[in-house]
Chain A
Amino acid sequence: MSSEEKEKLFNEVFKENKDRIFRLCYTSLNNKDEVDDLFQEVMANVWRSLDGFRNESKISTWIYRITVNSALLFNKRYKTKSGRFQNLEPHELEEMHAGSPFEKSLDDDLKNLHKAIAELGKQDRIIIGLFLEGTSYEEISEIVGISQNYVGVKINRIKTALAKTMGGME
């Protein structure tokens, strides 16, 4: 792939997927303040990996996989680097960062959904993030590395947990 082709492909990928990637970054993060950093890291990783993209999987699956791997590493690094947030519960972190421009743009239902998702475990946050993006069970299974049946089981459990947290949602 020539550098011009690479740049063109990257710009297309960026344009088509930036909102999706941003949402998945936001959902996956422990500390929402870091979303811009993670987003940029994902885009840097996408740029670096473009040469290796072989069209063997859907570009969305490929991008999601990069996002998920980057988010997991990012959370791990953040946990190691930052001691001061380590003892805070997810909802406390949520409250600390409730004023970000992204959150201000959300309606109440979405704000509540984000809050409820923040209470979930890291893998569950990723799975529900992918589910909400309309990703198929097959793709989620490929991205997260668990069986399709288990994805189904997980999503049902997550839905129940979210309903419980949000109160009344089915």
Chain B
Amino acid sequence: MKELDVLKNNWQKQKAASEIKMDEGKITESALSMLKKFEKKIFRINAVKTAGIIIAVILLIYTMLIATPPTVFKTAAVAVLLISITVFWTRYLKLQLKTAKFNVKENSVDFIDEVLKNFSAQREFFKKDFKVFGAVLIAALNIIYLDLLNGMPGLERIGFHTVMSALLIAVLFLGIKFRMRRFRNENAPIEKELIKIKDDLKESL
């Protein structure tokens, strides 16, 4: 029997049994695993955001309707805010990536199309729906200010409304910019890789 150090040389000459290529199933599995990781990350971020929204809504209701006497204007504004936040957030959460819904086994290429469609819908949501939500938010907060600033000279009131609205527009603008940057940094590389995988799969079919 030869010594281990001699066998070591022979050991390193052993070749892989065959030219193994990445098969379709493994590529799909790899893509799916990457998406699941991304989905988990987004889920955690959204859980924190949801908690933040709930706290903000509770504080808003408490400040506007419990700690201070409720008025028609404040109640209407809070109602508008509650409805718009609920609609916006539900739509947003519904648009999130859910890998469990993908029919991977039946057709390994189709799920890539579903993901790409989903990412595109998310992008559109921020480009269009978020602006509508922003407009509703500004309108509701202006209604609240209309009530809170009651009794103040007209010019000052206009100043307050203008500054507050301008600030909100700036915040919303930055929010959209930030979201688009995240799309570019996080979603776009995944999209690019999925398109590449899809092309590779098509070639191998």
* A interface, CB within 8 angstroms of B: 3, 18-23, 35-36, 39-41, 43-45, 47-48, 51, 100-102, 105-107, 109-110, 112-113, 131-134, 159, 162, 166-170
Contact = CB atoms under 8 A, between A and B. Distances in A.
A44 B27 contact: yes
Contacts, number: 87
A109 B2 contact: yes
Interface residues of B, number: 27
Main secondary structure of the interface of B (DSSP, over half): helix
A43 B16 contact: no
Given A51-B189, A101-B17, A168-B1, 9 more contacts: A23-B16, A41-B29, A44-B29, A45-B30, A105-B15, A132-B7, A132-B8, A169-B4, A170-B4
B3 interface: yes
A131 B11 CA distance: 10
Contact of B4 (A36, A102, A106, A162): A162
Q: Is the interface of A mostly helix, strand, loop or mixed?
A: helix
Contacts of B196: 3
Contacts of A43: 20, 22, 26
B150 interface: no
A40 B23 contact: yes
